[in-house]
Amino acid sequence: MTYTLFGANGYGSACIEAALELVGQSYDRVDVEALGSPEERAKLKSINPAGQIPALLLPNDDLMTESAAMLILIGDLNPDAGLAPAFDAPERADYLRWILFLASNLYPTFTITDGPERYHPDPDTHAVLLEQSNERRKQLWAIMEEGVFPGPFVLGKQMSLLDVYVSMMSHWSPRRDWFFEHCPRLSGAMRATEANPIVRKVWQRNFDLEVA
């Protein structure tokens, strides 16, 4: 059973690579540059009309978009991996809550900064859009920092795909130094997650750094 993942190094496809490798599912990755040439963007839109990655071709040939939905599906289809709370587990509500919080609140701020011209055509407004998106991002991380958790992972003693999602986004703006300083509990969960050798390998490939 093989998946095909459309993505690129450093993008949201990184968490899906990590998820598939953590549960032991084979996949092929097809590189598509979301912010590349017009030809690359046209290629991506032929796969996902929204022009975004990741996109995931399932073994039954259905195409799936939205990284949060992919994480939830992968976790639920592979219960023996222990990366998603069971439907009746007390942690299930928080697992779904925070994955969707990140997807519906935090992730859109990156969509703005990746292409401010899509939200306002006047270049003179773009600096303000970028600045305000970054500030909103910090506010949202602060909300999550205050809203979780017993540790060492976001939901407690067991690593989940929520931790993978948090860890991936911590590599993006406002970057790790800010994250370490202002989100100590989430930073602890991030470090615990990145101690996993599979996550470490995927992050090194995607973010071109040695994870501390």
- Cβ atoms 73, 63 nearer than 8 A: no
Same domain for 186 and 100 = yes
Same domain for 129 and 97 = yes
Instruction: Give the per-residue pLDDT at 209.
Output: 61
The answer on pLDDT for 116 being more than 70 is no
In a domain, 212, yes or no: no
In a domain, 102, yes or no: yes
Per the listing, tokens 């995607």 go with: 206
Same domain for 191 and 97 = yes
Same domain for 113 and 60 = no
In this structure, what CATH number is given to the domain that contains residue 176? 1.20.1050.10
Based on the structure, what is the number of domains in the chain? 2
Residue-wise pLDDT tens digits, 31-49: 997 777 888 888 888 998 9
- Cβ atoms 10, 207 nearer than 8 A: yes
Instruction: List C-alpha distances in Å: 81 to 14, 21, 113, 129, 160.
Output: 19, 11, 35, 41, 9
Same domain for 72 and 14 = yes
pTM: 0.92
Same domain for 187 and 97 = yes
Please report, to the nearest 10 degrees, the dihedral formed by the alpha carbons of residues 204, 100, 148, 178 taken in order: 50
**Which range of residues forms the domain containing residue 72?**
2-81
Q: Average of pLDDT values for 12-21?
A: 98
How far apart CA 6 and CA 154 sit, in angstroms, is 28
Residue 5: phi and psi, rounded to 5, are: -110, 120
How far apart CA 29 and CA 19 sit, in angstroms, is 13
Instruction: List C-alpha distances in Å: 208 to 84, 123, 180, 201, 205.
Output: 28, 31, 19, 10, 6
In this structure, what CATH number is given to the domain that contains residue 71? 3.40.30.10
Same domain for 72 and 37 = yes
Same domain for 183 and 118 = yes
Confidence label for 150 from pLDDT (cuts 50, 70 and 90): confident
Top-confidence residue, 44 or 9: 9
Instruction: Give the per-residue pLDDT at 121.
Output: 72
Q: Average of pLDDT values for 121-137?
A: 78
* DSSP for 8-33, written as a single string: -TTSTHHHHHHHHHHTT-EEEEEE--
Domain boundary among 62, 81, 100: 81
In a domain, 101, yes or no: yes
- Residues with Cβ within 8 Å of 74's Cβ and at least 6 positions away in sequence, in order, are 16, 19, 20, 23, 25, 83, 161
The answer on pLDDT for 212 being more than 60 is no
